[in-house]
Chains A and B, each alone.
Chain A
């Protein structure tokens, strides 16, 4: 007897749950031959709002976890990616990659996750300083997560673009809402399943699918978002994002010229983008004639 294959339902990822878009809209994803492979959620302003609320709720808990613990969780994500390697490769092939290119994209993604896992408890040492001051204070500066980051991921890769955008942001203790590639969204949902089974608290990463044309406006004008990072090439969208960001002085970063497959797309400076530097003046007792050490 012939068997009808069960099609996977591609949903979105908000607050550790897999809802459909509240708008009820979807768009058909077609392969090269023009056949529909899947129906993808066409997310709305309200989905972004819900995701932002989930991210805000999760951020303080995630940001206050021990850096070492965050490293363990990112490493766990990499382990889970490795375990699902075949699935990601077949999804990439389904979306038009060659087998070799698909394999390479998945492997680079896993390695990049491990790379940022390693940085979780090390970047602080690089960006911190003890500052010389002319009074009896111990003065030091340390990086702290900025809060909620809105990400519009690379359009041309399905998995690697997501990992490249998400990993440095969460390594630094932030929570994020990320818009997956519109033309290659399949890996986004599978990646959400990986996150969901890897000890990452719900809400730290929220993944939406849909169009940047519709959503970039809302990603950039929400007053409760602290930074926007944009990995695409649309000049008009970049302009709008920068203008909207001025509403509450969000940090804006546009990475449309980096080669996402290369090592240039991974660096602790990507972590630094979403950190705020906090400086503390700690009074030190001036005993007798002794002077401040710094």
Chain B
């Protein structure tokens, strides 16, 4: 971030017209994408997935299996991309890194006492450094929602900035857990805070609470990214996570990205889906397009 960037007063971020956002979103769902363009879209979706496992019961074996799936989505169909990254807990970064050697798939690690973020500053920094030292290419941090809701915006800003520093070369995704922030105004505000504090990506949710990613929330964040880009010239990525499990919905997200930010954002460098079951649905749709026959999940690996 250049030193010339002036940090705006976050108390006066633009307020969001909820009805307008919902109407705009409703229109994204009416686009008709068929045949070849649908196929291209679905391959793009696959290449944007952060295949995720964030369970207390995760084991090395489970992570290795998922990493194999990440690089070999469905070898029966030739020409499929790999997913963008796998997303795991810090303790699993080493395993994932080894399993993915030579595949080009990145390793993302959640951090800062994911999913609640209720821990001390020192622990959060140590958590992040541990993941980076083990080889994480990307860090998914959670913000302190309690501090944000109290109005302690400086705390949130400083925390993100210090984690960004601890990340070193790793790209930083900032998770807002929008389901806990209650209003679209809050989501817009926290998006601005995160981007000015140095986030490389902003991300909707942890996937641990409901509602997770929704289209209105994502649109508000995309518009924040657009305004930030106009103000500073820096591109920031977007990652909706949780609740996107069908290819139809995923394509609608791509439409929304294209019509809000433009085609520059339509690559896995700038847009990701945090999902675990989406990949299989997209694969089933691709197989359907290839064979003309509706598919059954019985014939697709459950990572």
Interface size on B, residues (CB 8 A): 8
Known: A222-B296, A224-B294, A224-B297. 15 other contacts (CB 8 A): A52-B294, A218-B294, A221-B292, A221-B293, A221-B294, A222-B293, A222-B294, A223-B294, A223-B295, A223-B299, A224-B296, A224-B298, A247-B293, A248-B296, A248-B299
A contact set with B: CB distance below 8 Å: 49, 52, 218, 221-224, 247-248
Interface residues of B (CB under 8 A from A): 292-299
- Report the Cα distance A198→B256, complex, angstroms: 43
With A and B bound together, what is the CA distance between A49 and B299 in angstroms? 17
| A6 nearest CB across to chain B (Å) | 33
In the bound complex, what is the Cα–Cα distance between A235 and B294 (angstroms)? 24
- Interchain nearest-CB distance for A174 vs B (Å): 15
Residues on B with C-beta less than 8 A from A222 are: 293-294, 296
4 tightest Cβ-Cβ pairs between the two chains A and B: A224-B296, A223-B296, A222-B294, A221-B293
- B77 → chain A closest CB, angstroms: 14
Q: Is the CB of B294 within 8 A of A49?
A: yes
What's the nearest-Cβ distance from chain A to residue B300, in Å?
A: 10
Cross-chain pairs A/B with CB under 8 angstroms, 21 sampled = A52-B294, A218-B294, A221-B292, A221-B293, A222-B293, A222-B294, A222-B296, A223-B293, A223-B294, A223-B295, A223-B296, A223-B298, A223-B299, A224-B294, A224-B295, A224-B296, A224-B297, A224-B298, A247-B293, A248-B296, A248-B299
In the docked arrangement, what's the CA distance between A224 and B299, Å?
9
Min C-beta distance of B156 to chain A, whole Å: 41
Best-surrounded residue of B293, B295, B298, B299 (most CB of chain A within 10 A) = B293
Instruction: Give the chain A neighbours of B292 by CB distance below 8 A.
Output: 221
Chain B residue with Cβ nearest A224: B296
Q: Please give me the residue from chain A that is nearest to B287 by CB atom.
A: A223
Q: Which residues of B contact A224 (CB under 8 A)?
A: 294-298
**A contact residues around B299 at 8 Å (CB):** 223, 248
Q: Which of A221, A222, A224, A248 has the most CB of B within 10 A?
A: A224
A221 to B292 Cα, complex, angstroms: 9
B283–chain A nearest beta-carbon distance, Å: 13
A138 CA / B297 CA spacing, docked (Å):
33
Looking at B293, B294, B295, B297, which has the most chain A CB atoms within 10 Å of its CB?
B294
